[in-house]
Amino acid sequence: MTFHIGAKPGEIAETVLLPGDPYRARWAAQTYLENPVLVNEVRGMLGYTGTWRGHRVTIHGSGMGMPSLSIYANELMQDYGAQTLIRIGSAGALQHHVKVRDLVLAQTASTCGSPSRSIFRELNFAPCADFGLLMAAHAAALKVGVPVHVGGIFSSDTFYDERPDLSDQLQRHGTLCVEMEAAELYHLAARHGRRALAVLTISDHMLTNEALPADQRETSFGAMVEVALEAAFA
C-alpha cells in the first residue's frame, strides 16, 4: 500500500495499462480481462487486476496531466514492481492525414515541461518508447485492421491551448497529435529501466474541429486496448 494506491503486495501485475480516466479503466478491465478484481479505489482512482489470455494484467487510472501520471507511475514501478507500462488514451490530431478514430503510436514525446524537467536542468532530454513494444504494437494494429501512425507526439501541460504559434510549429515539424501524459511516462520508464509505450486513439482534430461523439468513444477505443494487450505479450 502506498499514499495513492491501496493495493496489497502481489495485487498489481507486472504489465499495467494506464488510461487517464478511472472509469475507462473499469470499462477496459470488465470488457477485456477475465475475472477482473478491484485492487485500488483510493481517491476514486480505480485499478483492476485480471488476466488476458492467461497473462496477468492490471488496468489502472492515471488521472489527467503529467503530475498525476507521475504519482501513479512512480508508485507502480517502485513499490509494486511494474515492468511494462502502456498508456492508453485519447489525443487530438495535429496533421491532416491523421484522422479521427485512427491510432497513434508515440515513438517520441516532446513537452514544454514535465515533473522530470528539474532533473535535467539545461538538458533537453528526448524520451522515447520501448522499441520492442513499438514494433509489436504496430504489427498488432495492422492485424486488427485499424489505421495507425507512428511518430512524434506532443505532451502538453495545459488543456486549454493559448499558444497557436506553438501548435503551428508542432504541425510544421510533423508532430502527429497532442495529449497530456506520455512524455512523463517515457521519462520515468527510462529512469527506472522499464518498458513504456503510448497507444492513442484520435478523439478530436485540432485542424478540422471534428470530434468523436461521446456515445462512440468506448467502441472506438476498443482497438487501442486490443493493440496494447497484444503488444505487451508479443
> Residues 21, 161, 204, 215: which is the catalytic one?
204
88 marked ligand binding residue:
yes
181 marked ligand binding residue:
yes
* Nearest C-alpha neighbor of 106 from the set 154, 142, 152, 69: 152
Active-site residue, 79 included: no
Are 134 and 87 a contacting pair, CB within 8 Å? no
172 marked ligand binding residue:
no
| 44 Ramachandran zone, left/alpha/beta (phi>0; psi -120 to 50) | left
Rounded to the nearest 5 degrees, what angle is found at the Cα of 49, between the Cα atoms of 44 and 52? 135
* Nearest C-alpha neighbor of 23 from the set 103, 93, 70, 89: 89
203 marked ligand binding residue:
yes
194 marked ligand binding residue:
no
59 marked ligand binding residue:
no
132 marked ligand binding residue:
no
Output the known binding site for a purine D-ribonucleoside: 4, 179-181, 203-204
Q: Which residues define the annotated binding site for phosphate?
A: 20, 24, 43, 87-90
- Active-site residue list: 204
Binding site: what residues are annotated?
Answer: 4, 20, 24, 43, 87-90, 179-181, 203-204
